[in-house]
Copies of this chain bind each other. A is one copy, B any other.
Amino acid sequence: MARSDSRYREAFNRMLDRCAVLSVGAPLPPEAALGAEIGVSRTVVRRCLARLTEAGVIAWDGRQKHVLRHPAAADRIALGGVSADRDQLEQRFLDWILRFDVPPDTPLSVAELARNFEVAQHELKEFLAGLSRFGLVARRPQGGWMLRGFTKDFAVELSDFRLVLELDAVAKLVEAAPDHPVWPRLAALREAHHALAGRIETEFHAFSKLDEAFHDAVNSVVRNRFVTEFQKVISLIFHYHYMWDKTHEKQRNAAAIAEHLAIIDALEARDAPRAAEAARQHLRTSKSTLLSSLRHHDLG
């Protein structure tokens, strides 16, 4: 009928813990102090105090409140299932779209999705509203939501946008101070790339993670909330598509490693034009890989 009282339940248990460390007969701090301590409003504190009184753990009369006995395990109240946090929803949602290859223009049922992901409907709606800013989903005129999906257009525009952002990052990186923390990161990445190149015959699957780490490092020099927000989506999408398209995976990954190393070389040489050109080349490859993986999906 109404909202859950999990906030109260959790607060009550924490209040029990609070009483456990006090000796019998000791006074409790004022309501406001307890609220601040537990991170909850006075209203909740008072509800908890009332229950503690009822359970005989404390005596409470106005300002006089002191511990009567130490709380037992039986005094605790069970709290409902832990709700999954917000960030995970994003991961799981994109995972669902990409892994099950949901086609574009699919109507999305908020009710069904909320059930599957085990989140409240309004949370999912909020999430979709956020995604709609990226053009990944849209509202339908009759109501409800629709997946605009990973069409060819989407992939092209995403890749183009990524190119713009990443070229900017590369340009900034070349100008970065010598003591910038990105340089050790790049050096470590260079080693990791060389190491993987040596084991490419057997471990080419490990490249996907390395790719993510590389682009993350490059973009780390750009301190911009808009860029950061986009990178999250971009990296997820490219990450999954890497895992998908199994055609010539070994060759592709070997080539990508070489491209990454070329970028690192140019960056460490502080050669802006060469770095830009290397990045452009790599993203061109990336884009065509993304597009070809979409074509495979269209056909199959």
A229 with B134: CB separation less than 8 A? yes
Interface: A226 (CB within 8 A): yes
B127 with A226: CB separation less than 8 A? no
Residues of chain B within 8 A (CB-CB) of A255 are none
Chain A contact patch, size range = 20 to 34
Say whether, besides A125-B126, A126-B125, A224 and B160 are in contact (CB < 8 Å).
yes
Interface of A is mostly: helix
Interface: A157 (CB within 8 A): yes
Interface: A158 (CB within 8 A): yes
Interchain nearest-CB distance for A26 vs B (Å) = 29
Interface: A284 (CB within 8 A): no
Interface: A225 (CB within 8 A): yes
- 28 CB contacts below 8 A, A to B, read A86-B139, A122-B122, A122-B125, A125-B129, A126-B126, A126-B129, A130-B130, A130-B132, A130-B133, A133-B134, A133-B229, A134-B225, A134-B226, A134-B229, A135-B226, A135-B229, A154-B225, A157-B223, A157-B225, A157-B226, A158-B226, A160-B224, A161-B224, A161-B226, A161-B227, A164-B164, A164-B165, A164-B168
